[in-house]
């Protein structure tokens, strides 16, 4: 649907932007973080979904360029929000294609330093486990990032893209419960059981728990009662461009 050349051009022209979706603490509703999500707007206004262009970029060797761009934008916005009194952690998605060697970890650290951000203000969400869970290089690079102070989150927990073996090998700080378990959990005991078991494991490993795809007040109530720490989903806000984040947060509660 999109060519590698299109993707390369879009990156260099600035047609790819980070949008941000807020994350709220269950216990008081306070917004404590955002997830950066890549958005590509074509000249005619149509959007190319990340599920289409991210794999093209990854296959074509552009994974690192995309992630660096997302980190730079996350840092830049983080500083602007801080100036407006919003102190937020920023989560950025990475995949096995990003974990190519120690020099990449050093560069991510450099990007933060250039923007005056501390690594403990940034969480890297690990998707597509396969590539890195079986390479020593990927595991080594994640360990290096963690030592530098970056948070590490296991994304889509409970789906095929994340696994218990990943959890045991990588020094994660956070677990994101996949929205497939959140949706329907109020009426399906089996989904609720999956969430309870994930929470139990996360507690024992000392991980923060983020519930993804929270869409209704009923889901919020259930997840709060079960003991999740942080919620992300349309109930709070959809992903928005950086300049709209402040307003999106104002509309929430
Ligand atoms: O934003 P949306 O829900 O459409 O995202 C669809 C998928 O694309 C999600 O799995 C999300 O993690 C992924 N995605 C969005 N932005 C990025 C990015 O910057 N890097 C990577 N690797 N994946 C991303
Ligand atoms: O795989 P990852 O968790 O990064 O995917 C995030 C994706 O989920 C983004 O594309 C985002 O737009 C989408 N998303 C965020 N909140 C909700 C929600 O409440 N419901 C649904 N269906 N999708 C959501
Ligand atoms: Na993610
Ligand atoms: Mn997810």
Average pLDDT, integer, range 116-130: 86
User: Is the CB of 162 within 6 Å of ligand 2?
Assistant: no
- In this structure, which residue's CA is closest to atom 1 in ligand 2? 156
- In this structure, which residue's CA is closest to atom 16 in ligand 2? 233
User: Is the CB of 151 within 6 Å of ligand 2?
Assistant: no
Average pLDDT, integer, range 93-110: 92
Q: Which residues contact residue 145 at a Cβ distance below 8 angstroms, ignoring those fewer than 6 apart?
A: 105, 108, 119, 124, 152
Burial zone of 22 (CB within 10 Å; 0-12 exposed, 13-18 middle, 19+ buried): buried
Mean pLDDT, rounded, of the chain? 94
The 10s digit of each residue's pLDDT in 176-232 is: 999 999 999 999 999 999 999 999 999 999 999 999 999 999 999 999 999 999 999
- pLDDT value at position 136? 81
CA angle 33, 90, 46 (to 5 degrees): 100
Tokens of 88: 């937020």
Ligand 1 atom with least separation from CA of 239: 1
- pLDDT value at position 128? 55
Tokens of 100: 């190519």
Q: Are 187 and 166 in contact (CB under 8 A)?
A: no
Residue 235, number of CB atoms within 10 A of its CB: 16
The larger pLDDT score, comparing residue 3 to residue 100, is at 3
Average pLDDT, integer, range 96-120: 94
Q: Which CATH architecture has domain 23-35+63-235+244-251?
A: Alpha-Beta Barrel (3.20)
Q: Which of 17, 33, 34, 37 to mutate to test the pocket of ligand 2 (most atoms within 8 A of CB)?
A: 37
Instruction: Of 195, 147, 203, give the one whose Cα is nearest residue 174.
Output: 203
Instruction: Please give the distance, rounded to the nearest whole angstrom, from the Cα atom of residue 54 to the centre of ligand 1.
Output: 7
User: Is the CB of 70 within 6 Å of ligand 1?
Assistant: yes
Instruction: Please give the distance, rounded to the nearest whole angstrom, from the Cα atom of residue 84 to the centre of ligand 3.
Output: 26
Query: Does residue 54 have a pLDDT over 60?
Result: yes
The 10s digit of each residue's pLDDT in 133-157 is: 567 888 899 999 999 999 999 998 9
Instruction: Please give the distance, rounded to the nearest whole angstrom, from the Cα atom of residue 3 to the centre of ligand 1.
Output: 18
Percentage of residues in the chain having pLDDT higher than 90: 84
Query: Does residue 29 have a pLDDT over 90?
Result: yes
Q: Which residues contact residue 221 at a Cβ distance below 8 angstroms, ignoring those fewer than 6 apart?
A: none
Burial zone of 15 (CB within 10 Å; 0-12 exposed, 13-18 middle, 19+ buried): middle
Q: Which of 17, 54, 60 to mutate to test the pocket of ligand 1 (most atoms within 8 A of CB)?
A: 54
Average pLDDT, integer, range 23-39: 98
- pLDDT value at position 138? 86
Q: Which of 15, 20, 34, 50 to mutate to test the pocket of ligand 1 (most atoms within 8 A of CB)?
A: 50
For residue 197, the 8-state DSSP code is H
- pLDDT value at position 106? 96
- Whole-model pTM? 0.96
Query: Does residue 109 have a pLDDT over 80?
Result: yes
Which residues are marked as active site? 212
**Strand pairing partners for 174?**
153, 208
Q: What is the tally of helices (H) and strands (E) in the chain?
A: 11, 10
The 10s digit of each residue's pLDDT in 55-88 is: 999 999 999 999 999 999 999 999 999 999 999 9
């Amino acid at each position: 649907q999109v060519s590698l050349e299109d993707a390369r051009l879009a990156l260099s022209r600035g047609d790819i932007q980070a949008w941000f979706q807020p994350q709220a603490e269950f216990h008081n509703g306070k917004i404590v973080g955002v997830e950066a999500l890549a958005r590509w707007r074509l000249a005619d206004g149509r959007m190319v979904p990340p599920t289409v262009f991210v794999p093209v970029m990854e296959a074509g060797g552009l994974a690192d360029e995309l992630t660096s761009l997302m980190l730079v934008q996350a840092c830049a916005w983080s500083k602007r929000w801080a100036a407006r009194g919003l102190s937020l952690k920023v989560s950025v998605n990475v995949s096995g294609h990003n974990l190519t060697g120690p020099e990449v970890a050093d560069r991510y650290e450099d990007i933060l330093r250039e923007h005056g951000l501390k690594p403990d203000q940034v969480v890297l969400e690990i998707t597509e486990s396969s590539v890195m869970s079986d390479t020593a290089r990927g595991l080594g690079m994640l360990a290096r990032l963690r030592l530098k102070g970056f948070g590490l989150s296991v994304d889509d927990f409970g789906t095929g893209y994340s696994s218990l073996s990943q959890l045991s090998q990588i020094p994660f700080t956070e677990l994101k419960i996949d929205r497939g378990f959140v949706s329907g959990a109020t009426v399906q005991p089996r989904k609720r059981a999956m969430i309870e078991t994930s929470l139990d494991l996360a507690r024992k490993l000392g991980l923060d728990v983020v519930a993804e795809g929270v869409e209704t007040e009923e889901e919020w109530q259930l997840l709060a009662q079960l003991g999740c720490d942080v919620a992300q989903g349309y109930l709070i806000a959809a992903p928005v461009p950086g300049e709209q984040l402040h307003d999106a947060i104002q509309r929430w509660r």
